[in-house]
Amino acid sequence: MSLLSIRNLTKRFGGLTAVNKVSFDVGEGAIVGLIGPNGAGKTTVFNLITGNYQADEGDILFSGTSIKGLRTNKIVSLGVARTFQTIRLFQKLSVLENVLAGRHCRMKAGLVAGMLKTPFEKKEEREALAFCQEELAFVGLKGQESMVAGSLSYGNQRLLEIARALATGPRLLILDEPAGGMNEQETEALVGLIGRIKERGLTILLIEHDMSLVMRACEHLVVLEYGCKIAEGTPEIVKNDPKVIEAYLGAD
Amino acid sequence: MINEKNKLCAFAAFSLILATAPLYLNSYWVDVLNSVGLYAILALSLNIILGDAGLYNMGHAAFFAVGAYTAAYLNTQFGLPILWALPVSGIVAGLAGLLVARPVVHLRGDYLLIVTVGVGEILRIALINDVFGLTGGPNGIFGIDRPVLFGFKIRKPQEFFYLIWGFVAVTIFLFYRLKNSRFGRALDYLREDMTAAEGSGIDTGRYQLYAFMVGAAWAGMAGTLYASKMSIISPESFSFWESVVIFIIVILGGSGNIAGVLLGTFLIIGLPELFRGFANARMWFFGLAMMIMMIFRTEGILPHRPRVFKSLDRQRP
């Protein structure tokens, strides 16, 4: 059974249909790429999945149950984590505090436990700190825990967003242009990181403009144009699809 | 680490000087310190809402009033001892905070500010008009008992000093811990970026309400202490100007920083007493100081800093 199932998803902004009856599946443990020209509606699809926008029609099934209409934080706690196209870190907070934000939904201590520092709260904090440091080491930001997030390089900010998303303990990780603003070496490292995330048993859905990354990292591609799905399949099939070539290069 | 140690020393020295203050200050100055203490509780409670959660609340005096009137009413009508009324008025004010915040908390920035100004004014006018015959109208409620602690009746300013500043100390202790917990961090996240916080799995709406509730509850308890200290309360003690003063303390001192808020309280409430002789120039100086701050240091005298995690320091060579 597929982990994520998009069914006839439609979203309109006034007269513009940004996403038009899009359906696709993301299998458990797969790396799926969502590609298409600028303005094709890729990020809108992501925003619909994560509850930032509400769909007008269609349904979104995660692990067999509908998550359509749920609030973002609820969807995160069910196991869907994302990164943003325009980096949305807590710029003035430290790197570690940023990752701890992701861990929040897996922790329980509330107001009173926080004030009284109960043994449970202390243990939970210790474990969360250790866990978040491990995630930082995993994405390659070890030793930068105390730095202010805004002072990191662009590429490292992208990695920090991935660490924060991983800290939520997701089953599905949604990456919106993870290589945006990265240089070649950083992109190379990112491909490795995506592979290691897959090895952990996570499913990945990503938007990316860097075609070499998409072709290397993804096993399955979904192509959007003007809000509609125009092609789907392995990178080889999609690359040679006349409709896709037309969408990217324009018809004669 | 040296920095942390220095901070601790400074804090200890400050506490010692303050704790012994009634021994060498006359009653007038002790009373000034008492009002600094009450404002410190109010400012620390507003700091949770304004400084930590980033919600512009300029009607904080309303919750102060709810607490004061709850305590005064329960004490004068039912003879409930003041210190018993303390948690009750905290809860009532907290619920009032919840009630006020629930429909408006999603408003952003200045819109929320305008609404809270309105709430404060509505409450003040309701108090003047003696709604349901509870508030005693413009004259307020008088004959409120002094607090009795272990059979000892607190009367003199020197005695109130220890009650009020004891409460400030407890507040600082609890709020400091709260700040360094999951709850405190959640407030930071929603202040910094609401969308990112929601996307990281934080129920932002709920935490905004919690922030309002905790802040209002503490302001309510400050109200109880105030009512028993004055033994008479009336609507004019809870004017719009009080909300503005508490707001300025938090912004000027350093929103989100407990030490900053305390410093702000001493500057705004304590300093003017030192310059009583220049009463006319006070507001002039006040305004000028605010203008300079807003141009050169918008984040306050002691701004919020990222947390330091002890476990990290230990790992470093």
Task: Confirm whether A123 is domain-assigned.
Answer: yes
Q: Do A93 and B196 touch (CB under 8 A)?
A: no
Residue A233 has pLDDT above 90, yes or no: yes
Task: Confirm whether A205 is domain-assigned.
Answer: yes
Q: Can you tell me whether residue B282 is helix, strand or coil?
A: helix
Q: Can you tell me whether residue B276 is helix, strand or coil?
A: helix
Are A133 and A177 contained in the same domain?
Answer: no
- Residue B11: the pLDDT is 86
Are A75 and A174 contained in the same domain?
Answer: yes
Which residues of B, range 209-248, sit inside 8 Å of A by Cβ? 210, 214
Are A211 and A163 contained in the same domain?
Answer: no
Closest chain A residue to B206, measured at CA: A73
Query: In this complex, which of B181, B201, B311 lies closest to A109 when CB atoms are compared?
Result: B181
Give the whole-angstrom CA distance, residue B101 versus residue B83.
Answer: 27
Q: Which of A131, A129, A121 is nearest to A97 (CA)?
A: A129
Give the whole-angstrom CA distance, residue A22 versus residue B112.
Answer: 39
Contacts of B234 (CB under 8 A, 6+ apart): B136, B138, B139, B140, B141
By CB atoms closer than 10 A (0-12, 13-18, 19+), residue B143 is exposed
Residues B131, B122 contacting (CB under 8 angstroms): no
Residue A107: its chain B contacts at CB < 8 A?
182
Residue B192: its chain A contacts at CB < 8 A?
90-93
Contacts of B303 (CB under 8 A, 6+ apart): B254, B255, B256, B257, B260, B297
Is residue B1 less than 8 Å (CB to CB) from chain A? no
Task: Confirm whether A112 is domain-assigned.
Answer: yes
Q: Do A126 and B311 touch (CB under 8 A)?
A: yes
Indicate the number of domains in chain A. 2
Average pLDDT over residues B44-68: 95
Query: In this complex, which of A77, A114, A168 lies closest to B182 when CB atoms are compared?
Result: A114
Are A158 and A105 contained in the same domain?
Answer: yes
Q: Do A50 and B309 touch (CB under 8 A)?
A: no
Please give the interface size between A and B, counted as residue pairs whose CB atoms are below 8 Å apart: 116
Q: Do B189 and A105 touch (CB under 8 A)?
A: no
Split at pLDDT 50, 70, 90, the class of B317 is very low
Residue A76: its chain B contacts at CB < 8 A?
199-201
Residue A171: its chain B contacts at CB < 8 A?
none
Please, what is the Cα angle at A154 between A151 and A155, to 5 degrees?
120
DSSP E strand stretches across chain B? 141-142, 148-149, 152-153, 232-233
| Distance to chain A for B83, nearest Cα, Å | 21
Q: Do A90 and B202 touch (CB under 8 A)?
A: no
| Distance to chain A for B186, nearest Cα, Å | 7
Are A178 and A123 contained in the same domain?
Answer: no
- Assigned token pair, B257: 């920083």
Which residues of A, range 96-125, sit inside 8 Å of B by Cβ? 96-97, 100-102, 104-105, 107, 109-111, 113-117, 121, 124-125
Split at pLDDT 50, 70, 90, the class of A251 is low
Closest chain A residue to B173, measured at CA: A115
- Residue B316: the pLDDT is 45
Report the DSSP pairing between strands A16-27 and A2-13.
Answer: antiparallel
Mutate to test the interface with B, among A67, A104, A161 (most CBs of B within 10 A): A104
Query: In this complex, which of B177, B192, B200 lies closest to A104 when CB atoms are compared?
Result: B200
Here the CATH number for the domain that contains residue A43 is: 3.40.50.300
DSSP state of A63: T
One DSSP character per residue, B41-57 reads: HHHHHHIIIIIIS----
Is residue A76 less than 8 Å (CB to CB) from chain B? yes
Q: Which of A90, A82, A24 is nearest to A50 (CA)?
A: A82
Q: Which of A130, A147, A168 is the last residue of a domain?
A: A168
For B191-250, the pLDDT digits (tens) are: 999 999 999 999 999 999 999 999 999 999 999 999 999 999 999 999 998 999 999 899
Q: Beta partners for A148?
A: A94
> Other CB atoms closer than 10 Å to residue A15's CB: what's the count?
5
Task: Encode A53-78: b = buried (16+ Cβ within 10 Å), e = exposed.
Answer: bebeebebbbbeeebbebebbbbbbb
Residue B313 has pLDDT above 80, yes or no: no
Q: Which of A108, A136, A168 is the last residue of a domain?
A: A168
For A156-205, the pLDDT digits (tens) are: 999 999 999 999 999 999 999 999 888 889 999 999 999 999 999 999 99
> Other CB atoms closer than 10 Å to residue B157's CB: what's the count?
20
Are A128 and A160 contained in the same domain?
Answer: yes
Q: Do A93 and B192 touch (CB under 8 A)?
A: yes
| Distance to chain B for A103, nearest Cα, Å | 8
Task: Confirm whether A1 is domain-assigned.
Answer: yes
Task: Confirm whether A84 is domain-assigned.
Answer: no
For A93-117, the pLDDT digits (tens) are: 999 999 999 999 999 998 999 999 9
Residues A75, A51 contacting (CB under 8 angstroms): yes
Contacts of B244 (CB under 8 A, 6+ apart): B58
The region that residue B5 occupies, defined by phi over 0 for left and psi between -120 and 50 for alpha, beta otherwise, is: alpha
Residues B94, B213 contacting (CB under 8 angstroms): yes
Please, what is the Cα angle at B247 between B246 and B248, to 5 degrees?
90
Are A131 and A11 contained in the same domain?
Answer: no
Q: Which domain holds residue A177?
A: 1-79+170-252
Give the whole-angstrom CA distance, residue A23 versus residue B14.
Answer: 65
Task: Confirm whether A9 is domain-assigned.
Answer: yes
Give the whole-angstrom CA distance, residue B165 versus residue B316.
Answer: 38
Give the whole-angstrom CA distance, residue B173 versus residue B167.
Answer: 10
How far are the Cα atoms of A74, B41, B178, B183, B309 from residue A112, in angstroms, in the given order?
23, 19, 8, 9, 21
- Residue B275: the pLDDT is 72
Give the whole-angstrom CA distance, residue A138 versus residue A151.
Answer: 20
DSSP state of B304: -
Mutate to test the interface with B, among A123, A127, A142, A146 (most CBs of B within 10 A): A146
- Assigned token pair, B13: 């020295």
Residue A129: its chain B contacts at CB < 8 A?
309, 311
Q: Which of B205, B186, B206, B209 is nearest to B97 (CA)?
A: B209
Give the whole-angstrom CA distance, residue B244 versus residue B120.
Answer: 11
Please, what is the Cα angle at A90 between A84 and A96, to 5 degrees?
105
Average pLDDT over residues A123-138: 94
Is residue B195 less than 8 Å (CB to CB) from chain A? yes
Which of the pair, B307 or B73, is modelled with greater confidence? B73
Query: In this complex, which of B181, B203, B306 lies closest to A97 when CB atoms are compared?
Result: B306
Q: Do B201 and A105 touch (CB under 8 A)?
A: yes
- Residue B154: the pLDDT is 84
Are A62 and A96 contained in the same domain?
Answer: no
Is residue B143 less than 8 Å (CB to CB) from chain A? no
Residue B315 has pLDDT above 70, yes or no: no
Residue B306: its chain A contacts at CB < 8 A?
92-94, 97, 146, 148
Q: Which of A90, A17, A27 is nearest to A48 (CA)?
A: A17
Are A197 and A75 contained in the same domain?
Answer: yes
Q: Which of A229, A232, A227 is nearest to A11 (CA)?
A: A227
The reported pTM is 0.90
Residue B141 has pLDDT above 50, yes or no: yes
Residue A195 backbone dihedrals phi, psi, to 5 degrees: -60, -40
Give the alpha-carbon dihedral of B132, B136, B140, B142, to 10 degrees: -120
Query: In this complex, which of A104, A117, A130 lies closest to B177 when CB atoms are compared?
Result: A117
Handedness of CA B242, B247, B253, B259 (dihedral sign): positive
- Residue B311: the pLDDT is 63
Are A98 and A126 contained in the same domain?
Answer: yes
- Residue B7: the pLDDT is 82
Are A71 and A21 contained in the same domain?
Answer: yes
For A36-95, the pLDDT digits (tens) are: 988 899 999 999 999 999 999 999 999 999 999 999 999 999 999 999 989 999 999 999
Q: Do A73 and B204 touch (CB under 8 A)?
A: yes
Are A224 and A100 contained in the same domain?
Answer: no
Which residues of A, range 146-165, sit inside 8 Å of B by Cβ? 146, 148, 164-165
Residue B1 has pLDDT above 70, yes or no: no
Please, what is the Cα angle at B302 between B38 and B178, to 5 degrees?
60
Q: Which of A213, A192, A195 is nearest to A204 (CA)?
A: A195
Which residues of A, range 17-56, sit inside 8 Å of B by Cβ? 50, 52
Q: Which of A133, A168, A203 is the last residue of a domain?
A: A168
Task: Confirm whether A86 is domain-assigned.
Answer: no
Round the average pLDDT of chain B to a whole number and report it. 89
